[in-house]
Amino acid sequence: MGDSKTLNLNVRKDFPILSKKILEKKDLIYFDTAASAQKPNAVIDETNDFYENHYSNVSRGVHTLSVESTFRYEDARKKVQKFLNARSENEIIFTKSATEGINLVAQTFYEKFMQKGDEVILSLIEHHSNLIPWFFLRDKYGVVLKFANIQPSGEIDIDHFESLFTNKTKIVSLTHLSNVFGTELNEKVISICKDKNVPILLDGCQSAAHLKIDVQKLGCDFYVFSGHKTYGPAGIGVLYGTENLLSEMPPYQGGGGMIGDVSLEGASYAELPAKYEAGTPPLVEAHGLGIAIDYMNKIGLDNIIEHENEITKYAFNKLNEIDFIEIHGGDNKRNSIISFNIKNVHSHEVSSFLDVEGIAIRAGHHCCQPLMKHLGVNSTARLSFGVYNTLEEVDKFIIAIHKCKEFFNK
Amino acid sequence: MNDLINDLYQEIILDHGREPRNFGECEPHNKSADGHNPLCGDNLKLTFLLNDQNIIEDIKFTGEGCAISLASASLMTEKLKGKKIEVAEEIFKDFTNLVSGSDEDLKVLNEEDSLYALKGVGGFPMRVKCATMAWHAFKQALKD
Ligand SMILES: Cc1ncc(COP(=O)(O)O)c(C=O)c1O
């Protein structure tokens, strides 16, 4: 049984769902935070409070409730700005998800800066969310997509990546932390983009709550993440973009809130960030995200990261000792995510078996079908950890994995 | 061991999952369709030969999948071989009711049928798609 000093964050009481019994008798062991994180009381309560005491539309009216709602919405933006260390609130655009953020950049960046035959560099490990928006550009406008290879460790092959650049390369878009391997993007990749003067978008879905993010230090031009993976509500996402680029790119959707002045002949557009926020935004969810950020700050991101690293390492070593387990990726450092297969047992079987033991893991292609093809599997099982997980849960999982193997190979 | 798991993975399912029957491509065939589960990437190809009396003379499948999807496809081919299309369509309806936990009375399937072993899928709503993948391919092939 593992014990540890750092693991006593004492946060489990903050997450009401952790006292749920699965199938009426099993304690929930939630190892699917990479798909979506559970929500602390603070987020749940504050969301209710918003509806009960402060709710109205934002930036529209002048009455008291409109002021209270707008204050909360804009306050959340400030929190996100600090969380990412962006230079200004103008660089923080609220979207409905990371997916919407990537679509927004693909469309509007193309419109301003690209034409037929121009090139985008992606990689083999991208989530479908960071593939399909670019496929649209290929299909509609004849943009050329290039894909960086990966090494057996799961990291991008830097030499191959660098060889993909031409004078037609206009943008690079890569995952910051792989949702299959849990490996972090090598900083060299970003510096190569800087050297070549090509903007880079980082898909921060898996990094936002599991690494310390400083967009200025990172040097990325765009960074997207989803609130629901960072202990906040679903329905809210963030796009960070440098003010330079966001100012030059055209609006994404048209509607209320994103205009300067409208006549029947035409319209002028609002300044940043409103320019990219057409229509009534997910305002309560934005507030919830702000509260989730407060919550992470209260525990301390460094503590969260240390805690998760310890669990990840512990689980990795335990799994690595088992001969019927195949772990995908290398022995290199991973953050909070481990993908594996039990030899000769489909990941669906593993997931259903563990489910009745109360253990929630993800099985499938993780929205990374091109990567699955590369790995020569059509699905994997994935463990992913959050602030609330413990080494004891890993021990229970390991026992269940042995039972599972026995059951299917009897 | 948990009852739900034992219901889901009855011996016959594990057996057909490991060693699917009628695995391969039907030659000659005049009907075919691909089945695909977008949630997990599992897929199969179904081929069969329908003769001029509308009887399924031979039926086979290939593909990759979990035990539930392979066993369901394998048991389906065993059940449908030699059946008239009208009967096969009745079986399709019964089977989809059976695995989706619907209360509707079964018309042609009963507890004696090996397909009945898949009833346990009803306890795992997320796995219903695994169990019906081959069947939807069958329906699709009839339409094309
Ligand atoms: C790496 C990565 N990118 C993008 C996404 C898409 O996130 P969302 O569905 O919240 O937009 C996910 C979530 O599954 C992810 O893990």
- The DSSP code sequence of A126-172 is --GGGTHHHHHHHHHH--EEEEE-B-TTSSB-HHHHHHT--TTEEEE
In 3D space, the residue among A29, A47, A4 whose CA is nearest the CA of residue A291 turns out to be A47
Per the residue annotation, which of A193, A205, A220, A367 is the catalytic one? A367
Using CA atoms, how far residue A368 sits from A156, A365, A380, in Å, is 15, 6, 11
B2 CB burial (10 A radius; 0-12, 13-18, 19+): middle
Counting ligand 1 atoms within 8 A of each CB, the residue from A367, A368, A380, A382 with the most, and so the one to mutate, is A367
Interface of B with A (CB under 8 A): 1-2, 4-5, 8-9, 14, 39-43, 64-68, 124, 127, 130
Where residue B2 falls among pLDDT bands split at 50, 70, 90? confident
Task: Name chain A contacts of B4, Cβ cutoff 8 Å.
Answer: 23, 356
What are B4-33's pLDDT values in tens digits? 899 999 999 999 999 999 999 999 999 999
Task: Name chain B contacts of A407, Cβ cutoff 8 Å.
Answer: 1, 5, 9
Q: Is position A404 annotated as part of the catalytic site?
A: no
Domains of chain B: 3-143 (3.90.1010.10)
Which residues of chain A register pLDDT less than 70? Answer: 1-7
DSSP class of B55: B
Q: Tokens at residue B17, please? A: 């999952």
Nearest-by-Cβ selection for B40 from A363, A407, A408: A363
CA B52 to chain A, closest CA, distance in angstroms equals 38
H/E run at residue B10: none
Given this model, what pLDDT does residue A64 score?
Answer: 92
Counting ligand 1 atoms within 8 A of each CB, the residue from A127, A132, A362, A369 with the most, and so the one to mutate, is A127
The owner of tokens 């769902």 is A17
Given this model, what pLDDT does residue B47 score?
Answer: 98
Nearest-by-Cβ selection for A348 from B2, B4, B68: B68
In 3D space, the residue among A404, A315, A395 whose CA is nearest the CA of residue A354 turns out to be A404
H/E run at residue A217: helix A215-218
Kindly give the distance from the C-alpha atom of residue A14 to the centroid of ligand 1, in angstroms, as a whole number.
Answer: 25
Nearest-by-Cβ selection for B42 from A355, A378, A408: A378
CA A129 to chain B, closest CA, distance in angstroms equals 15
Where residue B39 falls among pLDDT bands split at 50, 70, 90? confident
Backbone phi and psi for residue A279, each to the nearest 5 degrees, phi listed first: 85, 170
Given this model, what pLDDT does residue B1 score?
Answer: 55
Task: Supply the pTM of this predicted model.
Answer: 0.94
Task: Name chain A contacts of B1, Cβ cutoff 8 Å.
Answer: 407
Nearest-by-Cβ selection for B5 from A346, A353, A372: A353
State how far the Cα of B130 lies from the Cα of B125, in Å rounded to an integer. 10
Backbone phi and psi for residue B63, each to the nearest 5 degrees, phi listed first: 150, -175
What are B115-127's pLDDT values in tens digits? 999 999 988 888 9
ipTM: 0.87
Q: Which of A341, A343, A346, A406 to mutate to test the interface with B (most CBs of B within 10 A)?
A: A346
**Contact between chains at A352 and B41 (C-beta distance less than 8 A):** no
Backbone phi and psi for residue A296, each to the nearest 5 degrees, phi listed first: -65, -40
* Cβ–Cβ under 8 Å, residues A117 and A168: yes
Using CA atoms, how far residue A238 sits from A96, A182, A291, B14, B51, in Å, is 8, 21, 15, 45, 58
H helix intervals, A332-375:
347-356, 369-375
* Cβ–Cβ under 8 Å, residues A170 and A119: yes
Query: Would the CB of A178 count as within 6 Å of ligand 1?
Result: no
Domains of chain A: 5-40+301-408 (3.90.1150.10), 44-297 (3.40.640.10)
* Cβ–Cβ under 8 Å, residues B80 and B142: no
- The helix, strand and coil proportions of chain B, stated in percent and rounded to the nearest 5, come to 50, 20, 30
Backbone phi and psi for residue B104, each to the nearest 5 degrees, phi listed first: -60, 140
Residue A342 CA, distance from chain mean position: 26
- SS3 label, residue A299: helix
Task: Name chain B contacts of A366, Cβ cutoff 8 Å.
Answer: none
Backbone phi and psi for residue A239, each to the nearest 5 degrees, phi listed first: -115, 120
Kindly give the distance from the C-alpha atom of residue A68 to the centroid of ligand 1, in angstroms, as a whole number.
Answer: 31
